[in-house]
Structure 1
Amino acid sequence: MKIEKITVDALDEVLEMQEEIYEKMEVKEALERIKRDEMETILSDNYSVGVYADNKLVAMRGFYIPKLDEEEHLADDVGVDRSRTIYSEIALVHPIARGEGLQFKMGKILLEDLKKDDRFDHLIATVMPLNIPSLKNSLRIGLKIVNTKFKYGGKRRHILHMNLKEDMNLEGEPIEKAFDDFEWMLENGKDYIGTEFVNGYITYYKKG
């Protein structure tokens, strides 16, 4: 397998792979399919990588630079500057390439580039709480859960954040909450930071 930067030249390949992945998913809600024009914008931001196996695209990950006037801007959910924010927008892995840690590998490559880019201080993502592989991967590369709320017309989402310039302040003893204890998360999530996922439980610390 070969990991390399991809651009709009790979647009059709990415969209085709997205559809193949979606068709094979048992829980369709776990994937928010991205439309052609939106995917073209992501690929134009020069923060996308793809994985090829035998000349076939089998995985991709892309960061997205949101417009300052974007509706439901995630920077507002975190309380940070819109102009200094970039999103971890999409990660796709074809079933034939699962189990290789590709989401993590692609994320690390993009993160290394991002930390050299002085335009941004904040990386933000949303994850469906029941999409366990994506949640584990996001936490593994250093994103933290900073809130859980309803977004995008009533869809439950974890909001994850990484400060690219300084570490987050954590206070007190850690507490563990079952990954599906949504009642607690929706009520208390804004006051806690989720740091890791182990054996079905998320570890939380009080925000400093």
Structure 2
Amino acid sequence: MKLLHEGTITNQVLHKKLPFSMKRLYLEDLPVIEQIQAKVIESLPEKDSLQALATEEFLFILNERGLMVGAFVEDELIGFRALLIPEIDEEHLGWDIGLPPEQLRKVIYQEISVVLPEYRGNRLQQKLAEVIMKELPNLEEEYRYVCCTVAPMNIPSLKDKFTQAMHIAALKEKYAGLQRYILVKDLENPLGHYSDHVTAKLDDLEKQQELLREGYVGIGFQLVQGFHEIQFAKPVL
């Protein structure tokens, strides 16, 4: 099995550094993938902050409709990250960010990303993102837009996406009425310059909606009196 990354990682319970590696996951890994997802969901105080994948969705990804990368300590899976090639339907995130129909096939989703609680605090989600995005060009088709959804108030996941230079392009109801940010990164023409910087409180979704309608995008966090606020700005095209 081809190793995609090797390094060391700290087990926060044992307070011990351990060697770890990353490799691509396949159909035979499905049982342990679902076990890890269940453990992570069980550890979350807010269960709906993570949009879990069903067995059928994992099968869809593992049957060459995307790719998954896992992190291992010895032979134990401790976290994974997935990319999904989506079906083009009415729920496609490309519609939410205003893409024309001919560009929808250029969209790939960053799907679920999970890390066991005892290995959090190692920037493992970010490392998994770096490795899986390096694997993206190995897929048969070429993709220009990387999209994902994140629940409002899910600060760790938003930080992860902002670190990857993704930006909030929309805030919509998804998944049967749940509010979700839709984030995107244009791999061919990433945003780099902004003007008119403003902030909005993390829980003020009405103001955020208004800013998005006015052409702002969400680009990061700012701490104001100890509380996170989302930074919005207008792209300079």
Q: Is 1:56 equivalent to 2:76 in the alignment?
A: yes
Instruction: Give the gaps of 5 or more residues in structure 2.
Output: 1-19
Deviations 1:108-141 (A, max 9, x none): 1122233576611100000001111011001101
**Equivalent position of 2:91 in the other structure:** 72
CA distance in structure 2 between the partners assigned to 1:188 and 1:175 by the alignment: 9
Structural mapping, 1:88-99, within 5 Å:
88-99=110-121
Give the TM-score taking structure 1 as reference length. Answer: 0.92
Decide whether the 8 Å contact of 1:150 with 1:157 is kept in 2. yes
For residue 108 of structure 2, what is the aligned residue in structure 1? 86
The count of aligned residue pairs is 207
Quick one: which amino acid aligns to residue 175 of structure 2? Y
For 2:105 and 2:222, how far apart are their aligned partners in 1?
Answer: 34
Partner of residue 232 from structure 2, selected from 184, 204, 207: 204
8 Å Cα contact 2:52/2:112 also seen in 1: no
In the TM superposition, residue 179 of structure 1 has moved relative to its aligned partner by 1.8
* Offset of residue 82 of structure 1: 1.1
Matched to 1:179, the amino acid is L
Matched, 1:178 2:198: no
For 1:169 and 1:143, locate their aligned partners in 2 and report how far apart those are by CA, in whole Å: 11
Q: CA deviation at 1:71?
A: 3.5
Contact residue 194 and residue 202 of structure 1 kept, 8 A:
yes
Superposition map of 1:112-123 within 5 A: 112-114=134-136, 119-123=142-146
Report the AA paired with residue 77 of structure 2: L
Greater than 4 Å deviation, 4+ residue runs = 115-118
Structure 2 residue matching 1:33: 3-state secondary structure: coil
1:43 and 2:62 are equivalent in the alignment: yes
Q: Quote the offset at 1:26 in angstroms.
A: 1.1
CA distance in 1, matches of 2:124, 2:115: 7
Sequence identity of aligned pairs in percent? 29
Moved more, 186-195 or 164-173: 164-173
* Distance in 2 between residues matched to 1:115 and 1:201, nearest whole Å: 35
**Can you give the 5+ residue segments of structure 1 that lack an aligned partner in the other structure?**
none
Q: Which has the larger radius of gyration?
A: 2
Letter in 2 for 1:202: I
1:101 paired with 2:123, answer yes
Tell me, in whole angstroms, the C-alpha distance in 2 between the residues paired with 1:47 and 1:197. Answer: 30
Shift of 1:47: 2.1
Of 16, 20, 23, the match for 1:4: 23
TM-superposed CA distance for 1:207, in Å, is 4.2
Q: How does 1:146-165 map to 2 (within 5 A)?
A: 146-165=169-188
CA contact (8 A) 2:199 2:232 kept: yes
1:73-102 deviations in Å (ceiling 9; x for gaps): 001111222111100011011101101111
Retained in 1: the 8 A contact 2:211–2:232?
A: no
RMSD of equivalent CA atoms = 1.7
Counterpart-to-counterpart distance in 2, 1:31 and 1:55? 25
